[in-house]
């Protein structure tokens, strides 16, 4: 077992630990059941690991971007209400990023907030969405634009869940892993380049290091900027373009694949504006294509695509905000970017 501490001792101590191990989820789930917790479980995980879930107080959730809605929130709230959950109740959320986002938002709002535990089951949720307290849903075609900050009580990461991911879902998380190296740690970026075959082969020893290192980087930035008023926005590298890609494709392009294309295209945009070096772009192109990502995107509906950028949470009256990597391992936030400059960029691709 390895542990990472998310140290949030401010007005209220909301610090917690991330526990990283293997083959221990069943034991933890049984313990939490015996404590009387309520469970929200991804349907796919329930089907694959049915013997882990012999719980009465359980809501099975179909994890899909089209199901990341206020209707789903109401359904889970209704489940908690019918089960007589109280303010001192605890919710255990087991699944990928969509399940974690919706479940965390439910826990943050039910009776003005109950405790919850995240048990992420995908690479993407292990290294990113389960840590840091962002919860939310999609609303009227915009990604994650309704939600709240609510920190979990604990995050339990069982690496053995990665064995049953599809290749597509696994690669979906690899993009977020690459993001951490690109914006925070050049040595980690190099490690990912040099250990590509082990990462793609899902070597558990390699992945244990990768997941722990990503959690350490995420914990550090969240500790400094819990509510994303400053440096935490660096974690959005690739995401402004990615959210437009997801929306334009009606979520046919999965989040990680959209982020991969977004990281490359945002870096290319930055190079053309003089905010990143051509060498950085080549580094990004090489690692992304080596891992099998498509770094291009053909817009289907330009109005829909660019409106998605305007409705992005990071946009304001002065323009768009982009998190960039001028050089590998060194992130930068660029604000007040006119939408027209992005429109011109895509029109000239």
pLDDT digits (tens, 9 = 90+) for 260-311: 999 999 999 999 999 999 999 999 999 999 999 999 999 999 999 999 998 8
218 is catalytic: yes
Q: Cα separation of 116 and 150, whole Å?
A: 9
236 is catalytic: yes
Q: What is the pLDDT of residues 196-239, one digit of tens each?
A: 999 999 999 999 999 999 999 999 999 998 888 888 999 999 99
Q: Cα separation of 258 and 241, whole Å?
A: 8
Catalytic residue of the set 33, 68, 134, 213: 134
Rounded to two decimals, the pTM is 0.93
Residue 190 — very low, low, confident or very high, per pLDDT cuts 50/70/90?
very high
335 is catalytic: no
67 is catalytic: no
CA distances from residue 322 to 77, 86, 332 in whole angstroms, order as listed: 35, 41, 8
Residue 12, pLDDT above cutoff 70: no
176 is catalytic: yes
**Domains assigned to the chain:** 2-164 (3.40.50.1970), 167-347 (1.20.1090.10)
- Please tell me the predicted confidence (pLDDT) of residue 266: 97
66 is catalytic: no
55 is catalytic: no
Catalytic residue of the set 11, 35, 84, 112: 112
Closest by CA to 331, choosing from 256, 265, 237, is: 237
Q: What is the pLDDT of residues 131-187, one digit of tens each?
A: 999 999 998 878 888 999 999 999 999 999 999 999 999 999 999 999 999 999 999
62 is catalytic: no
Catalytic residue of the set 172, 179, 236, 313: 236
Residue 294 token pair: 């498509």
């Amino acid at each position: 077992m390895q542990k990472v501490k998310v140290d949030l001792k401010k007005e209220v101590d909301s610090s917690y630990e991330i526990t990283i191990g293997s083959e221990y989820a069943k034991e933890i789930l049984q313990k939490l059941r015996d404590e009387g917790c309520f469970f929200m479980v991804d349907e796919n995980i329930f089907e694959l690991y049915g013997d882990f879930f012999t719980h009465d107080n359980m809501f099975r959730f179909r994890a899909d971007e089209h199901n990341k809605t206020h209707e789903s929130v109401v359904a889970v709230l209704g489940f908690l209400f019918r089960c007589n959950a109280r303010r001192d109740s605890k919710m255990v959320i087991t699944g990928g990023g969509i399940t974690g986002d919706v479940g965390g938002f439910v826990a943050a709002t039910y009776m003005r907030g109950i405790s919850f535990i995240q048990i992420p089951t995908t690479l993407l949720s292990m290294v990113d969405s389960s840590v840091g307290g962002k919860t939310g849903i999609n609303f009227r075609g915009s990604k994650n634009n309704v939600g709240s900050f609510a920190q979990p009580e604990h995050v339990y990461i069982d690496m053995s869940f990665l064995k049953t991911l599809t290749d597509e879902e696994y690669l979906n998380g690899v993009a977020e892993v690459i993001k951490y190296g690109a914006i925070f740690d050049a040595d980690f970026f190099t490690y990912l380049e040099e250990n590509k075959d082990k990462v793609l082969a899902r070597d558990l020893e390699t992945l244990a290091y990768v997941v722990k290192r990503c959690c350490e980087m995420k914990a550090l930035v969240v500790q400094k900027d819990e509510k994303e008023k400053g440096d935490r926005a660096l974690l959005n590298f690739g995401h402004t373009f990615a959210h437009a890609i997801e929306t334009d494709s009606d979520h046919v392009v999965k989040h990680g694949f959209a982020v991969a294309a977004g990281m490359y295209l945002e870096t290319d945009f930055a190079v053309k504006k003089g905010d990143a070096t051509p060498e950085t772009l080549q580094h990004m192109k090489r690692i992304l294509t080596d891992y099998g990502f498509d770094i291009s995107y053909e817009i289907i509906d330009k109005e829909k695509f660019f409106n998605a950028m305007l409705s992005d949470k990071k946009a304001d009256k002065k323009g768009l905000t982009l998190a960039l990597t001028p050089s590998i391992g060194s992130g930068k936030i660029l604000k007040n970017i006119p939408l027209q400059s992005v429109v011109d960029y895509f029109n000239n691709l």
